[in-house]
Structure 1
Amino acid sequence: MNLVEYSKCDGVALADLVRRGEVSPTELALLLLEAVEKINPQINAVLEIYQDRVEALDDQKISDGPFSGVPFLMKDIGASEGGRLQESGSKLMQGHVAVNDSFLTTFFKNAGLTLLGRTTTPEFALGISTESELVGVTNNPWNLDIMSGGSSGGAAACVAAGIVPLAHGSDNGGSLRIPASACGLVGLKPSRGRVTLGPDIGELWPGMLQEFVVTRSVRDTALMLDAVSRPVLGDPFIIRQPPGPYAQELNKKPEKLRIAWTVDPWHPDGSVDLEVVQSVEHVVCECERAGHELVQDSPVFDYEEYLHAVCVAWAYGMYMGLDMVAAGMGRKVSPETIEPVMWSFYEYSQGLTTADMFMAEFVLNKFRRIFGNFFQQYDLLLTPTLNQLPEPHGKYSKMRTDLDYESYMGLCEETKVHTSAANVTGQPAITLPLGESRSGLPIGIQFMARFGEEETLIRLASWLEKEMPWQDRIPPIHVSH
């Protein structure tokens, strides 16, 4: 197998070749090394490769998992692997070694994946562009001058460029879906509590955070969700379980759905790029053609109140968290150890009171109730994933000194407000690469479902993948070139 053949396969296809003995896990690992050497100097998405793991592979021990022998990369924050570096994109955490495997990491390994390295993230995963003072800028394979998205931008750039078929990421406000949209991939944020954060964490950021993967195919997304969405004793709660394996939803004709759609920017001063609007309208037409009922409608809420509550929710307790990790590293939180916007974040958090958090939770609860009532009328909400096309480096950098924390959050929300809504409500949402700009950049379209109903998203996404295929779209920076 060569890089061209390797990059044409999704994870399921590679695992099938491994099980049939047509390629070995070692061969696939060596192809990843070749891909990283060829592509990473241009995109700066891979922080580290585990050469020792490549050398220790035993091709006689083939996993029976759905992703047997498939190379995989972990985001440099979130699910950890014991004994491996995890620096969270920050000078404050430089040199930090994880103590143990997260449950999710164990699930990845049990699925047969070969964990071979780390991908970039902005500092502490805050931001919609993967730019870090510690490791530099991660470039988008579609255009090296624009953002790959964040905070899972390193993961998305690697998958888009063909280095791996899928990669680990996390999503606290769109951090899987934003880079998936920017890089032309499938990005699912599961429902709150669908994927465990244990054993070290119960929940983070008032339930907003979920971890999962970015992929190039819906079937990789479905099979991976089956592999990792397993309740673990001690989790804060066990959510509704699906009626059957998510993989069973593939190639199944969607039932007639009532789908609300909107291109409302939600931000009072925001706008949606005309090409993004046209892509949304095209998908609306395709869904109508399939017999679904499409209604132009949108939840109505107080944006400024919502944004302030999100800022408080993210910041509450941050100073304690940063102080704890700093103490563990023998360092102090200061403008020398964290980036300017993160320093503003830290200072902002120190001024918060318990009353601020109660008021923020009151507002976010109101927001969740608005969306809950809205989804009594509709099965899905269709929106842009990003209001704008992927933008040049620098705009969303936390190294900017002209932005404080609140203004930075507002700037990010202008383009990604539709993604963060699902984090606040806990509902599942998926972005699919269904649009393309005149300049050739991918445009993601987001579908949001009722809480716990990922199967609806998988079923519709599988149908759209056949009707509006994206597999032949390959960025200029790609291992096959």
Structure 2
Amino acid sequence: MTTPNTCHAFNPKDALGHHDACALSEQLQQGGTSAKALVDAALQRLSHVDPHLKATVSMQAEHALEQAELLDKVGQFEEFKGLPAFLKDNLDLEGLPTLHGSASLPRRNKQRTSAVARQLMDTGLVLLGKTKLPEFGLTATTEFSASEAARNPWHTDHSTGGSSGGSAAMVAAGVVPIAHANDGGGSIRIPAACCGLVGLKPSRGRLQANELAKHLPINIVSDGVLTRTVRDTAAFYAHAERQYWNPTLPALGHITRPGRKRLTIGMFTRKLNGEDSAPECVDAVQKAAMLCEQLGHEVREIAPPVPAQFADDFLLYWGMLAASVVHFGRFAVDRKMNPAQLEPLTHGLAKHFTRNLHRFAFALRRLYQFEKQYASAFEHMDVVLSPTLGHAAPPIGHLALNLPFEEARQRLVNFAAFTAAQNVSGAPAISLPMHQATNGLPVGVHFAAAMGHEFRLLELALELEQAQPFKMLHALTPTSHAGRQAADKASQLKPA
């Protein structure tokens, strides 16, 4: 479907072409392209689409080009060496500021690189800069009350999801084949579903520890990546594992083909409050279930393996995070932080926590117990299938950060209705772009597995992708308004 509101920069004539990260890596290894050519192409593409998508927050273009030239001189392109990528702006990268999506923080360059960012770089990725997120990742859309939202390449009037929405926009629009993301309540999987991408939230501890999250009462944050193909996601975790392996988790290795075992899959489509998901989300799950059955897997309808109380408990925990930012951000984040400039939603969540402080100890106890309760769901199942979201990507403004708090809360809970369980349990889950709504927006399907069982999800995802190849934006909108300009001019222009 071609609409005047699509925006991508895919260009078969430049070095990036329509290729995924694995194909580009193969070209580098075979001498068919260079790291500098890839970085040049990414910067040229960025100059065309980011004025429309507004997904980046800071750049290090000259440094990236210098790094690419150095890699070309060395000439050893194993793993993902030489591929352009972005870092989400809630991790430190030496030489760039870390703003966490917030106007409350000073724009000053960091003197160090975080452990997760270092692990990404150790796989060979060349970081072009940093992408937008909503303030401290506290909502499921990449919007702001006083500045420009990041916009969805499939339809620029719609949300990218959040909180890794800037990274999702850059990958979906073809600027880079892979970008960093992290997930504290669905923030990898939600933008993957909104922007038609593959988004795996790994098991807790799969990558290096996130410095701001590792001291939480329950560490709900997992770092990872957004990609356009399952094989790119699988390859990234294989490469990252060579840099760091957590001995408390089973090693993944490099998963390159579907598994032989036929799985028992539990399926549900209703939200925790018993309400139906939007028809396009139900349809996506039912079609995915039919495909799984055709491939020989057994699919059973089940009740959600999460109690109804969980949603309220998680919202209270989320409110605790916001209250920590409001009251202790100067100590935990930056001493020059200005709390008066925090978003209305952040203040609303913090007030929700303080109003319900008397309930927090009980909520926290139930959340602690949930990990064991969730694990028990996989005693008789291999995988759980559900929608990723309650509905497709909403229009910009539907989840605005300056809405009255109760309205914002209700809309957020209805939208991000399926993803938080794996953050509390620590277990992995993946969103796959297996469906489209009637308006052409992608619709994600969500598969979850037991702790440490990413291999099940990746094997199944590879099988589903082979059986039903995912639709990419460039194939559906070859003449989008920004895409046409990029295809005509990208090979002729120098980086902005």
TM-score by length of 1: 0.90
Deviation (angstroms), 1:252: 3.1
Instruction: Name the amino acid aligned to 2:286.
Output: E
Counterpart in 1 of 2:187? 175
How far is 1:325 from its partner? 3.7
* C-alpha spacing 1:238/1:373, structure 2 compared with 1 (3 Å): same
The residue type equivalent to 1:22 in the other structure is G
How far apart are the structure 1 equivalents of 2:284 and 2:324? 43
Partner residue, 2:493: none
1:177–1:189 CA contact under 8 A, matched in 2: yes
The SS at the match of 2:111 is coil
- 1:74 equivalent to 2:87? Answer yes
Residues 1:443 and 2:456 aligned together: no
Q: For the residues of structure 1 that align with 2:286 and 2:181, how far apart are their CA atoms?
A: 29
After superposition, where does 1:460-471 map in structure 2 within 5 Å? Answer: 460-471=460-471
The equivalent of 2:41 in structure 1 is: 31
Find the aligned partners of 1:340 and 1:473 in 2 and give their Cα distance. Answer: 34
Does the 8 A contact of 1:169 with 1:212 survive in 2?
yes
- Cα gap change, 1:408/1:439 in structure 2, threshold over 3 Å: closer, same or farther? closer
Aligned to 1:4: 12
Judge conservation of contact 1:265–1:387 (CA < 8 Å) in 2: yes
Instruction: Identify which range, 360-369 or 338-347, moves more after superposition.
Output: 360-369
Q: Flag the 1:307–1:198 CA change in 2: closer, same or farther, 3 A.
A: closer
Counterpart in the other structure of 1:310: 314
Q: Deviations over 1:167-194 (max 9, x none)?
A: 0111011101001001100000001111
DSSP-derived class of the 2:176 partner: coil
What is the match of residue 397 of structure 1? 400
Question: More deviation in 30-39 or 132-141?
Answer: 132-141
CA gap 1:185/1:7 in 2 versus in 1, 3 angstroms: farther
Structure 1 position 280 matched with structure 2 position 285: yes
Give runs of aligned pairs for residues 128-139 of structure 1, distance below 5 A.
Answer: 128-133=140-145, 135-139=147-151
Counterparts in 2 of 1:201 and 1:283: CA distance versus 1, 3 Å: closer
Identity of aligned residues (%): 28
Q: Does 1:263 align with 2:263?
A: no
Q: Following the alignment from structure 2 to structure 1, what is the Cα–Cα distance between the partners of residues 192 and 160?
A: 8
Structure 1, unmatched stretches of 5+, are none
Cα gap change, 1:308 to 1:231, in 2 (>3 Å): farther
1:252 and 1:125, CA in 2 relative to 1: closer, same or farther beyond 3 A? same
Check whether the contact 2:200–2:430 (CA below 8 A) recurs between aligned residues: yes
Contact 2:133 2:142 in 1 (8 A): yes
Cα 1:49–1:62 shift into 2, 3 Å: farther
1:320: how far off? 4.0
2:52 matched to 1:52? Answer: no
Query: Are the aligned partners of 1:254 and 1:463 in contact in 2 as well (CA < 8 Å)?
Result: no
* Structure-1 residue corresponding to 2:3: none
1:103 Cα offset (Å):
1.6
CA distance in 2 between partners of 1:187 and 1:423 (Å): 14
Amino acid at match of 2:35: P
* Aligned-partner Cα distance in 2 for 1:447–1:110: 29
Question: Would the aligned equivalents of 1:191 and 1:451 in 2 still touch at CA under 8 Å?
Answer: yes
Q: Contact 1:130/1:154 (CA < 8 Å) preserved in 2? A: yes
Note the alpha carbon deviations across 1:36-70, whole angstroms, 9 max, x for none.
11111111112222122134232203454411110
**Whole-Å Cα distance in 2 between the matches of residues 411 and 231 of structure 1?**
40
- Structure 1 pair 275–257 and aligned structure 2 pair: CA distance change class (3 A): same
Q: Residue 300 of structure 1: CA displacement?
A: 5.1
Offset at residue 106 of structure 1 (A): 1.4
Tell me how far apart the structure 2 counterparts of residues 161 and 390 of structure 1 sit (CA, whole Å).
16
Distance 2:211 2:402 in 1: 33
* Stretch moving more, 388-397 or 362-371: 362-371
How far apart are the structure 1 equivalents of 2:11 and 2:25? 16
Deviations 1:206-229 (A, max 9, x none): 121101100001111011112224
1:437 CA drift (Å): 1.9
SS at match of 1:251: coil
Moved more, 198-207 or 378-387: 198-207
Counterpart-to-counterpart distance in 1, 2:405 and 2:76: 49
Residue pairs, 1:253-402, within 5 angstroms: 253-268=259-274, 270-299=275-304, 301-303=306-308, 305-316=309-320, 318-326=322-330, 328-334=334-340, 337-350=341-354, 353=357, 356-400=359-403, 402=404
- Contact 2:323-2:347 within 8 A present in 1 as well: no
Is contact 1:428–1:452 with CA below 8 Å preserved after alignment? yes
CA distance in 1, matches of 2:28, 2:215: 36
Distance 1:206 1:231 in 2: 25
CA contact (8 A) 1:128 1:150 kept: yes
Distance (whole Å) between structure 2 residues aligned to residue 444 and residue 341 of structure 1: 26
Q: Distance in 2 between matches of 1:312 and 1:119?
A: 28
Post-superposition Cα deviations, 1:392-449, rounded to whole Å, max 9, x if no partner, equal 111112122x125xx6344312122211111121110001111112222211101000
